[in-house]
Amino acid sequence: MIDIEIMQDASEIIHYDFINIPLAIQERLLSSFTNYRALCHWHEDIECIHIIDGEMHYDINGKKILLKKGDNIFVNTKQLHFGYSNCKKECYFIVVLFHPDLLKCSQKIYRQYVKPVLKCTALEYLHLKEGTELGTSVSEILMQLFKLMPHCSQPYGYQAIGLLYTLWDLIFNSVKDSTQFENIEKDTDIETQRLMVSYIYQNYQENLTLKDIAAAGNVCRNKCCKLFQKYLQQSPIDFLNAYRLEVSQKLLKETSYSITEVAAACGYNYISYYSKIFYKKFGVTPSTFRKKAQAAADTF
């Protein structure tokens, strides 16, 4: 839910804001994502979101959480997740991502207070609601981090790190005595889903079939479809097309490839089919989209 690049294993490259500090802070509108839906992804960073206005659903390993105005969510490392609104309602929110290495000023502190949270398989996320003591405290910290955003330089970095330690103290103390802090057996379905999503990201340019995608997860086609519906609310082929079209948008905006070349680079052998599903998803043809993108770029 931030400015990132999705790698071929479905993980993200995160572009950090602070010099030499693995921390990214952004404000976003859900409408900036195609059809008000981010692509499914994961990363090693901790992700925290604060809803400033509106609402959205957040999917974490197939669990669906409704985030309302004032709510926060803490997403642990390496979780499959994405935000969306099926009703296409606007949501204005801030995202804070930071790598756990930021909390390694002391190996003893890291081993005792940080690593247990990162390794806790039961702790996929925390929904920190508005109006609760913990939710209010977390909101205040995230907003303070957000206010540092215009000053993304080294002199302000120590303030950001201090706030992150305060945030971690709140998170750790909220779960240390709960059953949520206990490890549970890993869900093999999540790993299977990760493998199939990664396969699509790695091979979207090829002529992929449902059989190919299922084989990547070592499951039958029926199981493959069930897992995609469970975790992504889409069929495997719909997800494949969604990613291909996202890539094609980038190529239309940033390259001089012909429409035919863009289609081929994204796994479409027939330009007519590519144009048809592009129009169905975005409401414009690829050529019209390119012209609008170029016109918008020329205004800056």
- Among 1-5, 44-48, 83-87, 202-206, which is the least confidently predicted range? 1-5
Task: Specify whether 151 is located in the same domain as 45.
Answer: yes
- Among 113-122, 133-142, 171-180, 204-213, which is the least confidently predicted range? 171-180
Task: Specify whether 120 is located in the same domain as 202.
Answer: no
Task: Specify whether 167 is located in the same domain as 59.
Answer: yes
Task: Specify whether 44 is located in the same domain as 119.
Answer: yes
Q: b vs e for 143-160, b when ≥16 Cβ sit within 10 Å of the residue's Cβ? A: eebbebbeebeeebbeeb
What is the C-alpha to C-alpha distance for residues 146 and 165, in angstroms, rounded to an integer?
A: 16
Quick check: 2 pLDDT over 80?
Answer: no
* pLDDT digit string, tens, across residues 252-264: 999 999 999 999 9
β-pairing, 23-29 vs 46-54, is unpaired
Structure tokens at 143: 């907003």
What is the C-alpha to C-alpha distance for residues 270 and 244, in angstroms, rounded to an integer?
A: 14
* pLDDT digit string, tens, across residues 221-244: 999 999 999 999 899 999 999 999
Quick check: 177 pLDDT over 90?
Answer: no
Where does a domain end: 144, 164, 181? 181
Task: Specify whether 157 is located in the same domain as 278.
Answer: no
Task: Specify whether 210 is located in the same domain as 162.
Answer: no
Task: Specify whether 242 is located in the same domain as 216.
Answer: yes
pLDDT band of residue 296 (cuts 50, 70, 90) is: confident
- Angstrom CA distances, 243 to 266, 267, 273, stand at 9, 11, 16
Instruction: Provide the residue count of the chain.
Output: 300
Task: Specify whether 13 is located in the same domain as 33.
Answer: yes
- Total structural domains in the chain? 2
Structure tokens at 203: 């091979």
Task: Specify whether 109 is located in the same domain as 200.
Answer: no
Task: Specify whether 167 is located in the same domain as 252.
Answer: no
Q: What range defines the domain where residue 174 resides?
A: 4-181
For residue 12, the model assigns a pLDDT of 54
Quick check: 184 pLDDT over 80?
Answer: no
Where do the DSSP E strands lie in 111-197?
Answer: 125-128
Where do the DSSP E strands lie in the chain?
Answer: 4-6, 12-14, 23-29, 46-54, 56-60, 63-67, 72-75, 81-84, 91-98, 125-128
* pLDDT digit string, tens, across residues 52-106: 999 999 999 999 999 999 999 999 998 999 999 999 999 999 999 999 999 988 8
Higher pLDDT, 263 or 1: 263
Residue 53's CB is within 10 A of a number of other CB atoms, namely 11
In the chain, the percentage of residues whose pLDDT exceeds 90 is 70
Average pLDDT value over all residues in the chain = 89
CATH number, domain with residue 22? 2.60.120.280
For residue 4, the model assigns a pLDDT of 47
For residue 263, the model assigns a pLDDT of 97
* Full-model pTM: 0.81
Quick check: 299 pLDDT over 80?
Answer: no
CATH number, domain with residue 199? 1.10.10.60
Higher pLDDT, 116 or 183: 116
For residue 127, the model assigns a pLDDT of 97
Task: Specify whether 174 is located in the same domain as 192.
Answer: no
DSSP 213-269: HHHHTTS-HHHHHHHHHHHHSS-HHHHHHHHHHHHHHHHHHH----HHHHHHHTT-S
pLDDT band of residue 153 (cuts 50, 70, 90) is: low
For residue 180, the model assigns a pLDDT of 58
Task: Specify whether 77 is located in the same domain as 177.
Answer: yes
Where does a domain end: 181, 197, 214? 181
For residue 80, the model assigns a pLDDT of 92
Taking residues 12-35, report their average pLDDT: 79
Angle subtended at Cα 165 by Cα 162 and Cα 169, rounded to the nearest 5 degrees: 140
For residue 250, the model assigns a pLDDT of 92
β-pairing, 46-54 vs 72-75, is antiparallel
Q: Is 131 exposed, middle or buried (0-12, 13-18, 19+ CB in 10 A)?
A: exposed
Where does a domain end: 138, 157, 181? 181
